[in-house]
Amino acid sequence: MAEYPSKNFIAGQWREGGSEDFAEIINPANKEVLVKIKKVSQQDVKNSISAAEECFQSWKKVSNSERAEILNKISELIKERADDYAEVLSLENGKSLAEAKAELLYGAGYFDFYAGQAKQISGRVIEESTEKKLQVLKEPVGVVGMITPWNFPQAMLARKLAAAFAAGCVCVAKPDHQTPLSALLLAKICEDAGVPKAALSVLVGDSEMIGKELMESSVVKKISFTGSTRVGKLLIEQSAKTVKRLSLELGGNAPFIIFESADIDKAVEGALASKYRNSGQTCVCSNRFFVHEKILGQFKEKFSQAISELKVGSGLESSVKIGPLINQAAVDKNNKLLEDAKKKGAEVIQSHELSQKEGFFFPPTLLVSNDLEIDAFQEEIFGPISIIYPFQSEEEVLKLANSTPYGLASYFYSQDRAQIQRVHDALEFGMVGINSGRISSPLAPFGGIKESGYGREGGEEGIKEYQNLKMSLELL
């Protein structure tokens, strides 16, 4: 296993933060402290921004092919170190070793993809007449602030960095204080791969203070944020003062619809994939299962059986599928949602008996509810609770699926080709899984609509988030 990082990566230097406070990184499986990291000071953040601004002047001039080589090297090093780094990721986050390694390789895929995209950056010349020449160029936006969550501590930063570096940007990143180790290990890889010093800082510290410095700095031209809708709305307000560009990947309330014609076995497989990855703690997790009443009994029986076979425990155990939740607040929230549903008549179909006496564990649970007023219908659960809502018609279920302010991910299962097209067109979400419980790929744009945010990560659209357009008109 890799050694735990114990210092911040400040302007290309491994240093202790200038604050008097420490961030304690806790293993959620047993509540033990893995390591303490001294938090950065306000001056550390200012220094990181200033150093990034200076570095940008040279980094933006590096050729596309040279940047591509560095991105390819980052990917290569992630793959080489994946086994060691996966243990660290599992310990700080709680997810299984298999999921941790998959996350690392998923992140590597973005560096591979954007290495190719870097080589394809080009402008265009518009010949309006023999007397005029118009040019359109793509230029990097400059210094970018990145704020990433705890649920995918390496992949969320990798996805942002890959596109930003490909475009020629420099970055000041703030990982979640609960899971900064994987982000710091990624910084080490970037350093070893040849990313210039000060082109990346990874800062552990007070969220409000770091966020304030990034938002108020006129040097920081863009913020890329993955997190809650509540915080995203605050960033929108704060960005007005400096007219910052924002990319926001916020909360979700994903529907998972199983129509009468669906292949039930495949639907169960997709439901497990979309719901129970990372113990249900993903923004694209299925939050509301809508099952046609004619197949409710079959799906309920098979899904319940599949859930009962999910082993709960420490992510380091090879057979474990469900690790702990991130902290006690997450456990309390899931308990509150479960109790509310039960009080309002929801039927508990399946719930594990937990043998773990320590750690932030919560049992994978399946309920059926006919009450749409339960809190879990409108709130993002962010845990291993699945709730089935029976439905009768396509029109009814589409209305229910879209009855949320969020618009990130959605899923449905059907073998009726005409229905597939109708439902695809009617769902008001940025991403749709059709007969699939997985929807993310480096080759395609990831992001939502409505209160799930705006901007995209991944695909050719992702690099555009880090580019400005410059038009020039020359009289000949």
Catalytic residue among 92, 249, 394, 451: 249
DSSP symbols for 33-74: EEEEEEPPPHHHHHHHHHHHHHHHHHHTTS-HHHHHHHHHHH
Judge whether 45 and 174 are in contact, CB under 8 Å. no
User: What phi and psi, each to the nearest 5 degrees, are found at residue 292?
Assistant: -60, 135
Smallest Cα–Cα separation from 23: which of 225, 166, 207, 234? 207
Question: Rounded to 5 degrees, what angle do the CA atoms 145, 146, 151 make?
Answer: 165
Contacts of 199 by beta carbon, 8 Å cutoff, 6+ apart: 12, 52, 55, 56, 59, 165, 170, 171, 190
> What's the farthest any 2 CA atoms get from each other in the chain?
80
Cα 130 from Cα 141, distance rounded (Å): 32
169 is catalytic: no
Catalytic residue among 213, 283, 285, 457: 283
For the chain, give the number of residues.
476
- State the alpha helices, DSSP H only, in 344-378: 375-378
Name the burial class of residue 168, with classes exposed (0-12), middle (13-18) and buried (19+) by CB atoms within 10 angstroms of its CB: buried
Q: 60: how many CB neighbours lie within 10 A of its CB?
A: 16
87 is catalytic: no
Torsion of the alpha carbons at 452, 372, 399 and 225, rounded to the nearest 10:
0
Question: Rounded to 5 degrees, what angle do the CA atoms 160, 287, 347 make?
Answer: 160
Judge whether 413 and 266 are in contact, CB under 8 Å. yes
Cα 143 from Cα 166, distance rounded (Å): 13
- The token pair at 384 is 């291993």
Place of tokens 């942002």: 160
Q: Give the residue numbers annotated as catalytic, written as ranges.
A: 249, 283
